[in-house]
Structure 1
Amino acid sequence: MNKAFVKESDQDDEDPVPEGQRLPAGTKNYITVQGYQRLRAELAHLMTEERPAVVQIVSWAASNGDRSENGDYLYGKKRLREIDRRMRFLTKRLEIAEVVDPASQPNKDQVFFGATVHYVDSAGEEHTVTIVGVDEAEPLLGKISWISPVARALTKAREGDTVTLRTPAGLDELDILSVSYPS
């Protein structure tokens, strides 16, 4: 049977969301202004630069004849599927995004979305985290998702408060040293 009429994989049409980027049912996709701009820039880059370049390579490779053993063609088609999947994901996320400007937070002494919190845990280790959207989270850089256990424990607390964090190892006490928001 000709490969043109055979679906290569059932997974190609699915848009799997990475585990850390899943939103709880019924919640909004909160995101900072910078995060929203970054996602839009990535989508624009994929649409205007990366995808057209790959399409050009696939077109060139297809013109070379036999496609069954043409590495440029096969890799290019696979890369196009990856780009299209990412573009669909970004489009969906941007459509449901609820942009929040942390600088406009009226209660700057309390922890909410966009806050940068400096705290010390029960082991005496100091941490600084910024509470951001699910699509912006980079835990190794101190940017944690607003739905993460640490962010949920810190939310609504104030400087000087002690909050309890439930971890797999048990309960941990976090003493909040400072709360700040971008200007």
Structure 2
Amino acid sequence: MSRAFVKEDGPDNAPLPDLPISPYPNYVTPRGFAQLQARLAEAQTRLAGLRARMDRLDRLPEAAAERDIRYVEARLKSALLMTSEGRGCEEVVFGHRVSVVDEGGAKTAYTIVGEDEADAATGHIAPQSPLARALLGTQPGDVVAWRRPAGVVELEVLAIAWP
């Protein structure tokens, strides 16, 4: 193919804009820090594989991998590792697993983790979430009001533990 038909400069070759970084402190659990490190290694491996392709006319996948690497590196650089060492279970803090019961008697447990580790489906919630904000600083026996779009739910804190 003639070089005249190969597009070397264009929007698909420009770097992609960086992913937005949260304005909140980047607290992470040891598990969350390990997940970020694994994500970085995976993205670097993916980028190496993309660069090794014979047909590299489409540079968009490479740009996306580079953007992902920049994001994860920034998150690792700003990480504030929080461990349970020297910290008790008197009141709910970052990293705690909190068992609660709602007004209907349903028991649930939530773990307050970093933003990159949060997954509501598994009970891992970010400290900026409305539920975590309601739970932080409470003690067993306290009742909190969790303001949700569907309405306010009262939760009683049953237990606090390190996962």
- The ranges of structure 1 where at least 4 consecutive aligned residues each deviate by more than 6 angstroms after the TM superposition are none
Q: What are the Cα deviations for residues 1-34 of structure 1, in whole angstroms up to 9, with x where unaligned?
A: 9621223387x521234xxxx63x3x31100112
Q: Does 1:174 align with 2:158?
A: no
Given candidates 101, 121, 139, the residue that maps to 1:158 is 139
Q: Matched residues in 1 for 2:136 and 2:25: separation?
A: 16
Q: Matched residues in 2 for 1:159 and 1:123: separation?
A: 18
Aligned-partner SS, 2:28: strand
Q: Matched residues in 1 for 2:98 and 2:120: separation?
A: 14
Post-superposition offset of 1:52 = 1.4
Given candidates 4, 8, 14, the residue that maps to 2:12 is 8
Match of 2:48 in 1: 52
**TM-score of the superposed pair, with normalisation by structure 2:** 0.87
Q: Matched residues in 1 for 2:153 and 2:144: separation?
A: 8
CA-atom RMSD in angstroms: 2.0
Runs of 5+ unmatched residues, structure 1: 63-72
Q: How many residues align?
A: 159
CA contact (8 A) 1:120 1:177 kept: yes
Q: Matched residues in 2 for 1:52 and 1:106: separation?
A: 42
Runs of 5+ unmatched residues, structure 2: none
**TM-score of the superposed pair, with normalisation by structure 1:** 0.78
CA 1:78–1:8 in 2, change beyond 3 Å: closer, same or farther?
A: closer
Given candidates 61, 66, 69, the residue that maps to 1:84 is 66
Q: Matched residues in 1 for 2:82 and 2:115: separation?
A: 13
CA contact (8 A) 1:149 1:166 kept: yes
Given candidates 25, 29, 39, the residue that maps to 2:26 is 29
Match of 1:125 in 2: 106
Match of 1:137 in 2: 118
Q: Matched residues in 2 for 1:88 and 1:41: separation?
A: 14
Post-superposition offset of 1:177 = 1.0
